[in-house]
Each structure stands twice: as C-alpha cells, then as structure tokens.
Amino acid sequence: MAARAQRTLTFAVRGPISARDLPGLCDRVCALMTEARADAAVCDVRGVRPTAATVDALARLQLAARRLGCQVRLSDASEDLRELVAFMGLEDVLPE
C-alpha cells in the first residue's frame, strides 16, 4: 500500500490579533484544514505585531490544528515575534 503524500496548506494572518479575533480565526483556518485534508499548515505571520495576544492566538490555533491531525508552522516571523515566542517558552509549540 502506498503512503499518502503529505498535504500542506498555506495561509496568512495579517494585522493585529486580539483575543476577540481568536474564535473566528480558528474556525476559518480549521475549515480550510479540513477541506484541504492538510497534514501541515504554513502560517505567514509577517504582518502581525509581536504581542502576547498574538502568541496566545497562534498557540491556540496550533492546538485546534493538532486536534485535526495537522501541525502549524510559522513563516516569515519577525525577529521580535520569534524572541517573544521563545521568551514565552513556546518555540516547540510554534516552530518556524
């Protein structure tokens, strides 16, 4: 039996992220992952500000993705965002 090829979804998150954005963000991205039957998702975060709310939202998005059997990887993260992720101890949760 041949192994199924890994399916990767690519999406971008733009602008500031706040706690109130989280439910809609998770719902939209999880719907995309389900539709694509993705194993991995690459999240372009070049347009987000490095705040605790941003890191919290991305970590929660990762949790929702893992429930679907998918893993989110960050792409184009700023140095400040990478440093904040590391400071919060989430570099293993939010890999780049």
At residue 87, the pLDDT reads: 97
What CATH number is associated with residue 45?
3.30.750.24
Q: Is residue 63 part of a domain?
A: yes
Q: How far apart are CA 24 and CA 68, in angstroms?
A: 17
Range of the domain at 20: 8-87
Q: Is residue 92 part of a domain?
A: no
Residue with tokens 């939202």: 57
Q: What angle do CA 46, 48, 96 make, to 5 degrees?
A: 50
7-47 confidence digits (pLDDT tens): 899 999 888 888 888 888 889 988 998 999 999 999 999 98
39-92 confidence digits (pLDDT tens): 999 999 998 999 999 999 999 999 999 999 999 999 999 999 999 999 999 999
